[in-house]
C-alpha cells in the first residue's frame, strides 16, 4: 500500500471551493487504487506572509512519521 499526503491551500477565504478541487485534482493525477490517502488543507493562511496554518504543520508531521527512514 502506498501512503499519499495531499495538501490544498487558499491564501484567502475560499467561497468558491477551490481547495476541494485541488485535492480532487491530486487524486485524479495518480490513479493508483492501492493507496492510503490523507488530505490536509488551510485557508485564510498565506504562504507569502509565512503564516500557513495547522494543516501544513500536521501534514509535515505525518510525512516525517511515514518516511522510509523512520519506519521500523
Helix (H, G, I), strand (E, B) or coil at 72: coil
10 Å Cβ neighbour count for 45?
18
Would the pLDDT of 72 be above 60?
no
Structure confidence by residue, pLDDT tens digits, 4-55: 899 888 888 888 889 999 999 988 887 777 778 889 988 877 666 667 778 8
Helix (H, G, I), strand (E, B) or coil at 36: strand
Q: Where are the domains of the chain?
A: 2-70
CA atoms of 46 and 38, how far apart (whole Å): 22
| Contact yes or no for 19/30 (Cβ under 8 A) | no
Amino acid at each position: 500500500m502506498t501512503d499519499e499526503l495531499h495538501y490544498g491551500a487558499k491564501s484567502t477565504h475560499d467561497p468558491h471551493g477551490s481547495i476541494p478541487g485541488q485535492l480532487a485534482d491530486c487524486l485524479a493525477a495518480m490513479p493508483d487504487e492501492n493507496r492510503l490517502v490523507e488530505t490536509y488543507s488551510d485557508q485564510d493562511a498565506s504562504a507569502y506572509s509565512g503564516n500557513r496554518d495547522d494543516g501544513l504543520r500536521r501534514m509535515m508531521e505525518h510525512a516525517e512519521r511515514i518516511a522510509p527512514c523512520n519506519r521500523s
